[in-house]
Chain A
């Protein structure tokens, strides 16, 4: 057996706390600039004001966030929009990703590497750039004349200015951008399904749908769970796409306002029309997101990441 470090007490390895010196710089950086601020944000959600003028107000920020007529309308509006945004990613992005991955793992297909490379290109572009690009391309000023001359008048529409379509369009642009991530993860997952198993299924006369449904799908459950978690976490933090495509207020009429943009307005920039940030309310929004992530992520982890 190859002796590895896992089961070996080497002379280098006296079990000593001396190693702490190697860990200390990383621990300090990570604690000061990530772990501690995250935890302390929860405490800040119980205060009003900023450093110097801070006072403890108990759960007043949460009461305001969930029940105040104006603030809660914004919060629940953004909450609902974020779920719609998430639904688009689960149903369109991840299903497309799965479909692409199934196509791209056909061993006899040519040009797989080429397609894979193209699908992944948008993932490397900043959301700010791609969002702004689509904002211009979707402006009727840009393609309107061409579309009209082609007789496609129905397509000439201020898609981002219409509260009925804006959120769907923003979501689809985000899907366009990120579909490469689930695709690659599914490709990696599907490639690890043993070839013998698929061959056996083939000999037994399974058609490709049956093979997929009963052999590949159950075997890549952990990957599906991981993708669902990643999608959930990133969607509940999405901000750039709204900022770039419609603006930090989530126009028109707050129809593209997501939790991320709401957080930015209340906690960082200051909500219109007062324009003074309320760190306490911002921290309460962040804490709510944190709790939602825990509620969403932990059961998914448990259900899909079985013992290896």
Chain B
């Protein structure tokens, strides 16, 4: 077949191919596969026990909020939620503060030592911190930090720094040099320039770093599981692990706890989906 006839045939079918039917079909099937478990999660959390066993796939009729009430009142959900919130907010603010200071330094300081330090941070992006677990357990024992939220906070800060340093250094390097010149001529010192010029300008990069770290820290099970055994220090996910044994026959109540644990991040994501996608895939795609 010559190119000419091929193109003619293509032209005829162009309108049809613009509909992208196979693509839509594929996407609709996958959307169904993604949303079905999420629907089952939420709808069954709103059912009574009998209602769930009668019709696990149907809509929540009669609808009840008792499962959520039980999780919040008897299950102490807000205590766990508060602990998770402390861990995430302290870790994130420290990552952003230390990361931006280091990025500011590395962007300006040109020398062998600074290149070496930059490389030192970069190695940490490739290696999973879980490898260090055994030594970290000893370290926390020595510091007496078992059952303190600060144990996992310190680890999360260390874990979040490499990507923060990478993104922020690159971002600050890309800022126009004139900005600093002008401020410096006005007699501003480095610390002042950091606060009044650099910080406001790097807000988008700070957001990327923040989101990149927010989800893994909120969703981390490994370190809380190891370091936190005391009830009043537990995070949301540790409350979920307690299910393996507790009120196992009361499924709607389990669904309610799972819903409450998953919903905050899903809601944040749906509100800021664009920045989430950039944030979570940052570091993976270079530049």
The chain A residues found within 8 Å of chain B, CB to CB, are 2-6, 8-13, 15-23, 25-27, 29-30, 32-38, 40-41, 44, 50-51, 96, 99-100, 103-104, 106, 108-109, 111, 115-130, 132-134, 136-137, 142-143, 145-146, 176, 181, 184-185, 188-189, 204-205, 222-223, 226-227, 229-230, 233-234, 237, 239-240, 243, 247, 260, 263, 267-268, 279, 282-283, 286-287, 289-290, 293, 297, 308
30 A-B pairs in the complex with CB atoms less than 8 angstroms apart:
A3-B178, A12-B180, A13-B108, A19-B105, A25-B102, A29-B98, A33-B158, A34-B124, A38-B127, A38-B131, A41-B133, A41-B134, A100-B27, A103-B23, A118-B34, A120-B273, A120-B280, A126-B219, A126-B237, A128-B240, A133-B37, A188-B285, A204-B3, A234-B128, A239-B130, A247-B244, A268-B137, A283-B134, A286-B134, A293-B128
Asked if B30 is at the interface of the complex by the 8 Å CB criterion, the answer is yes
In the complex the two chains form, is B221's CB within 8 Å of A29's CB? no
A175 to chain B, nearest CB (A): 11
Which of B65-73, B200-208, B258-266 contacts its partner?
B258-266
- How distant is B28 from chain A, measured CB to nearest CB, in Å? 8
The answer to whether A44 and B127 touch across the interface, beta carbons within 8 angstroms, is no
Quick check: B98 and A188 within 8 Å, CB to CB?
Answer: no
A-B complex: 8 closest residue pairs judged by Cβ atoms:
A22-B105, A33-B158, A37-B132, A37-B135, A19-B109, A126-B219, A26-B102, A34-B158
B276 touches A16 (CB 8 A): no
Interface residue? B195 (CB, 8 A): no
Check B280 against A123 for contact (C-beta < 8 Å).
yes
B251 interface residue (CB < 8 Å to A): yes
A26 contacts which of B6, B98, B109 (Cβ < 8 Å)?
A: B98
Give the size range of B's interface with the partner.
35 or more
Q: Verify if B113 is at the interface (C-beta below 8 Å from A).
A: yes
Identify 6 new A-B residue pairs, CB closer than 8 A, beyond the known A129-B262, A132-B258.
Answer: A3-B176, A16-B109, A18-B190, A25-B98, A111-B27, A286-B134
Complex CA gap A85/B133 in Å reads 22
| Bound form: Cα–Cα A128–B136 in Å | 22
A308 contacts which chain B residues (CB < 8 A)? 287
A279, B262: Cβ atoms closer than 8 Å: no
State whether B105 touches A38 (Cβ < 8 A). no
Partner of A35, one of B6, B120, B141, B287: B120
Report if B50 contacts A (CB, 8 A). Answer: no
The answer to whether B102 and A115 have CB atoms under 8 Å apart is no
State how many angstroms separate the Cβ of B11 from the closest Cβ of chain A.
12
| Whole-angstrom CA separation of A11 from B135 in the bound complex | 44
A96 cross-chain contacts in B, Cβ below 8 A: 30
- Min distance, Cβ B258 to any Cβ of chain A, angstroms: 5
Beta-carbon contact of B133 and A267 below 8 Å? yes
Report which of B37, B106, B135 forms a contact with A41, defined as CB distance below 8 A. Answer: B135
Docked pose: A44 CA to B136 CA in angstroms: 11
Which residues of chain A have C-beta atoms less than 8 A from B265's C-beta? 124-126
Main secondary structure of the interface of B (DSSP, over half): helix
Question: If A5-B177, A51-B141 touch, does A127 touch B102 (CB 8 Å cutoff)?
Answer: no
Measured CA separation A21–B109 after assembly (Å): 11
Provide the bound-state CA to CA distance between A23 and B169, in Å.
11
B34 and A237 contact, CB distance less than 8 A? no
The reply to whether A41 and B23 form a contact with Cβ atoms under 8 Å apart is no
Contacting residues, chain A, for B161 (C-beta < 8 A): 26, 29-30, 34
Q: Which B28-80 residues have C-beta < 8 A from chain A?
A: 30-31, 33-35, 37-38, 40-41, 53, 55-57
A121 touches B34 (CB 8 A): yes
- Report if A6-B134 is in contact (Cβ < 8 Å); known contacts: A12-B184, A22-B105: no
Given A185-B281, A226-B285, answer yes or no on A279-B134 (Cβ-Cβ < 8 Å).
yes
Known: A3-B177, A5-B107, A37-B139. A128 touches B241 (CB 8 A): yes
Task: Give B234-270 as 1s and 0s: 1 = Cβ < 8 Å from A's Cβ atoms.
Answer: 0001001101100000010011001001100110111
In the assembled complex, B101 has its CB within 8 A of some CB on chain A = yes
The chain B residue sitting closest to A45, CB to CB, is B134
Q: Which of B187-238 contact A (CB under 8 A)?
A: 190, 193-194, 215, 218-219, 221-222, 225-226, 237
CB distance from B103 to the nearest CB of A (A): 9
Check B174–A120 contact: CB distance below 8 A.
Answer: no
- Interface positions, chain B 77-102, Cβ under 8 Å from A, are 94, 98-99, 101-102
Q: Identify the closest chain A residue to B120 (Cβ).
A: A35
Distance from B51 Cβ to chain A, minimum over Cβ atoms (Å)? 13
Within 8 Å CB of A289, what residues of B?
Answer: 131
Separation in Å of the B247 CB from the closest CB of chain A? 13
With contacts A33-B136, A267-B134 known, is A26 near B99, CB below 8 A? yes
Chain A proximity of B96: nearest CB distance (Å): 11
Given A121-B269, A129-B240: A290 in contact with B258 (beta carbons within 8 A): no
Known contacts A10-B177, A11-B184, A35-B120; is A125 also within 8 Å of B126 by CB? no
Kindly provide the distance from the CB of A129 to the nearest chain B CB, expressed in whole angstroms. Answer: 5
